[in-house]
Chains A and B, each alone.
Chain A
Amino acid sequence: MANVITITSGKGGVGKTTATANLGTALAQRGCKVAVVDADIGLRNLDVVMGLENRIVYDLVDVVEGQCRLRQALIKDKRLPELYLLPAAQTRDKNAVDPKDMIKLCDQLREDFDFVLIDSPAGIEQGYKNAVAPADQVIVITTPEVSAVRDADRIIGLLESAEKRSPRLVINRLKPSMVKRGDMMDTADVLEILAIELLGIVPEDDSIVASTNRGEPVALNGKTRAGMAFQNIARRLLGDEVPFPEFNNASGLLGRLWGFVRSRPIDFKARN
């Protein structure tokens, strides 16, 4: 029975699709049977990031509407035999699907896969609700920037009120040089604010753009820093305890940050 994991963010463009493609790839490399689902209906992208855009015949909406069988819409990856993509419809809008449809669809996928990864659209509207409805686990992805963290906080609040299992956080596009200069919030800063469990840190890496140009997820190349980061996240999803080499220098903080953070204090005090 598969684990259904939704990757979401609130703010657009922070790396949901990149993360979905790479985690799918990394999990499949580890021998898991994985389906990645593009829930960004009308703005499909996961297909091009994975280099599978030429193979699409049917899409998610076709499956939901009964135009084809689920099996017919699933596209097999070029490189990894255990990896499949369910593409989004490009010419429809998000209202073509509702949360019930997504739950039904994922229940079908669960039977055949170890992991189902859902690439959520940005925002907190219908598309987001569709993507999150079937999730057993949610990964919230953010960059270390004010607006992205703010939106991540909003999503975390919504997930908590939807009584989903506490989401875990991936910080993307961290630039160690900027952190060092004091011009970018570091992992500890972001965790202090969002107070959820950390799942991974992905550095800013030009090889992401280069590999996306080719339609080859960077995780295929374990030598790149971003590829290594995604491999580490995949291992954590499989239950391995992988240290966070990315911020070892903050080792004193590690114990405090790592693990389940139960309360989310805000440093706001009434003025005198």
Chain B
Amino acid sequence: MKLFGVLFGRTKTKSSQVAKERLKLVLVHDRIKVSPELLDTLKGELIGAISKHIDIDQAGLEVTITRGDKVDKLVANIPIRRSR
């Protein structure tokens, strides 16, 4: 499909996909009172704190909020570089 789009001019993203993406974004704010800016700040500080001690893949670091049954979680996924 994608290739098709590339070959035959621009294809518009399906509106159902747009709906889903927009919902995901808006729900982050509805669900938890943590702004994207705050997440960015946290991410920066995490990189600073951890990379003092461990060689991490800064570009691969992800900070996500997950909503569980009882509690919401702040999840940091921090890839570590292998030394060899």
Q: In whole angstroms, what is the CA distance A269 to B65 when docked? A: 8
Does more than half of chain A's interface fall in helix, strand or loop, or is it mixed? loop
Check B69–A166 contact: CB distance below 8 A. yes
Which residues of chain B are near A150, meaning CB under 8 Å?
23, 26-27, 30
Q: Are A268 and B25 in contact (CB under 8 A)?
A: yes
B69 CB, nearest partner CB in chain A, Å = 6
User: Could you say which of A145, A179, A268 contacts B64, with CB atoms under 8 Å apart?
Assistant: A268
- Size bracket, chain B contacts: 20 to 34
- Is the Cβ of B31 less than 8 Å from the Cβ of A266? yes
Complex Cα distance, B81 from A245, in Å, reads 47
Q: Give the contact-size bracket for chain A.
A: 20 to 34
Q: Which one of A166, A182, A267, A271 contacts B24 once the chains associate, using CB atoms below 8 Å?
A: A267
Q: In the complex, which of the residues B31, B39, B62 contacts A153, with contact meaning CB atoms closer than 8 Å?
A: B31
Query: Given A184-B16, A268-B25, A271-B36, are A262 and B69 neighbors across the interface (CB < 8 Å)?
Result: yes
Tell me the residues in window 12-61 of chain B with beta carbons closer than 8 Å to chain A beta carbons.
Answer: 14-17, 19-20, 22-28, 30-31, 36, 39-40, 42-43, 59
Q: Given A264-B66, A269-B64: A185 and B20 within 8 A (CB)?
A: yes
Q: B22 to chain A: which residues have CB within 8 Å? A: 146
Given the contacts A185-B16, A272-B59, A153 and B30 also touching, CB distance less than 8 Å: yes
Name the A residues within 8 Å of B24 (CB-CB). Answer: 193, 266-268
Beta-carbon nearest neighbor of A166 in chain B: B69
Residues of A within 8 A of B67 (CB): 195, 263-266
B68 near A146 (CB under 8 angstroms)? no
Q: In the complex, A150→B65 CA distance in Å?
A: 17
Asked if B78 is at the interface of the complex by the 8 Å CB criterion, the answer is no
Interface check A12, CB cutoff 8 A: no
Q: A150-B27, A266-B24 are in contact. Are A182 and B42 (CB under 8 A)?
A: no
Encoded as 1 (CB less than 8 Å from any B CB) or 0, chain A from 156 to 196 comes to 01001000001000000000000101111110010011010
Residue of A whose beta carbon sits closest to that of B38? A270
Q: In the complex, which residues of chain A have a beta carbon less than 8 angstroms from the beta carbon of B15? A: 182-183
Q: Are B40 and A271 in contact (CB under 8 A)?
A: yes
Closest to B24 in A: A267
B36 cross-chain contacts in A, Cβ below 8 A: 268, 270-271
Question: Given the complex of chains A and B, what is the CA–CA distance between A11 and B31 in angstroms?
Answer: 17
- Nearest first, the 8 A-B pairs at minimum CB distance are A182-B14, A270-B39, A264-B67, A270-B43, A268-B28, A270-B63, A263-B68, A185-B16
16 contacts between A and B (CB under 8 A): A146-B22, A150-B30, A153-B30, A160-B70, A182-B16, A182-B17, A183-B14, A183-B15, A186-B16, A193-B24, A263-B67, A264-B68, A268-B24, A270-B39, A271-B40, A272-B59
Q: Which residues of A contact B (CB under 8 A)?
A: 145-146, 149-150, 153-154, 157, 160, 166, 179, 181-186, 189, 192-193, 195, 262-272
Q: What 5 new A-B contacts, CB under 8 Å, besides A160-B69, A193-B23? A: A181-B14, A186-B16, A266-B67, A268-B64, A268-B65
